[in-house]
Amino acid sequence: MRFATLKDGSLDGRLVLVSSNGLQAVDAAPIAASLLGALQNWDAVEPALRERTAALEAGTATGIFAFDPAACSAPLPRSPQWLDASAFLNHGRLMERAFNTPPIPHFDTIPVMYQGASDDFLGPHDEVPMPSEADGIDFEGEFGVICGPVPMGVTPEAALGCVRLVVQINDWSLRALGPHEMKTGFGFLQAKPSTSFAPLAVTPDELGDAWQDGRVHLRLHVDSNGQWFGHPHGGEMNFSFGQLIAHAARTRRLTAGTIIGSGTVSNQGRDAGSACLAERRVIEILDEGAAKTPFMRYGDTVQMQARWPDGREGPFGVVSQRVVPPGSEQR
């Protein structure tokens, strides 16, 4: 199943089911009015949602309409919890060099994770207000999962059974603010503005062979200001989503609707490019002695989409956004 949430002026939006070709949709009501409601009652509503999806694909569902990704909010406009990891170790090691921070203890064996704001996610085509160009505006392309209820102490193997949906993420960062917050020991706050999501959240079966070992085995194609920036592959994720969920739930349960991100998709091979500006900048420092790629300025754009191996647009749709001064955004 492929879910999207249309903006309707409410906090949780209008839940729709989207066809496999991404062209048509149908309301999920009265089965589930919102995606959060569906996740909280998944066992009860999943059969009916799958039946309505089958009717959509067959063209027999009532109320079918043309799907417009530009009308979407994030699949979950808000969530009980948003946890982001750094599961691609290549990226983490490069960031240590970028910010001249000491190596994180047990970085190879214990996932690194922070808790971000989950009350105001951005949609795939929302303009993105940033307080100042001097803050080091950066995008970060990621994959993520949305969980059902997760018991405390769950094993990584059992944790994969708690995954309800898979998503594509742009986790915005303000790089000039990050070093101070990392040194405080309290984690990120101001350095992490509202996170953006691609329009579609999909059940793992929609990914077919691209969902293996708790990883998304697709390339994430990133364009910056209309120019190719990178296409790193999600299969190089060092910690699986099962391991990330188990890490988050080691001392507490997680409620339905919790989102867990992979961290920036990053490959060791330089030919894959990058999914964030900071990573490219540190590679430039290592290879050429100085960073040449600037951080984003007002009016700059970024586009991200996971693609199938044959080059077709992937299962999550497209994130296409522009950075703007605060107060000027249209959402």
pLDDT tens for each residue of 227-279: 999 999 999 999 999 999 999 999 999 999 999 999 999 999 999 999 999 99
- Structurally, what CATH architecture does the domain formed by 82-324 represent? Alpha-Beta Complex (3.90)
Domain ranges of the chain: 2-67, 82-324
The span from the CA of 271 to the CA of 283, in Å, is: 12
DSSP category for residue 268: S
Lowest mean pLDDT among 33-37, 147-151, 181-185, 301-305: 181-185
Paired tokens of 134: 């001097």
Pick the more confident residue, 135 or 90. Answer: 135
Measure the CA angle with vertex 301, ends 85 and 114; round to 5°.
Answer: 15
Q: What is the pLDDT of residues 15-55, one digit of tens each?
A: 999 999 999 999 999 899 999 999 999 999 999 999 999 99
Using 50, 70 and 90 to split pLDDT, how confident is the model at 138?
very high
**Does residue 331 surpass a pLDDT of 70?**
no
The span from the CA of 114 to the CA of 310, in Å, is: 35
- Phi–psi pair at 129, nearest 5 degrees: -80, 135
**Does residue 97 surpass a pLDDT of 90?**
no
Q: Is 252 helix (H, G, I), strand (E, B) or coil?
A: coil
Lowest mean pLDDT among 8-22, 54-68, 176-190, 251-265: 176-190
Identify whether the C-beta of residue 175 lies closer than 8 Å to the C-beta of residue 193.
no
User: pTM for this one?
Assistant: 0.95
Which helix or strand (DSSP H or E) is residue 236 part of? none
> pLDDT averaged over the chain?
94
**What residues contact 289, with CB distance under 8 A and at least 6 apart?**
none
Paired tokens of 206: 């929609």
Residue 99 has a pLDDT of 63
**Does residue 126 surpass a pLDDT of 80?**
yes
The percent of residues above 70 in pLDDT, for the chain, comes to 98
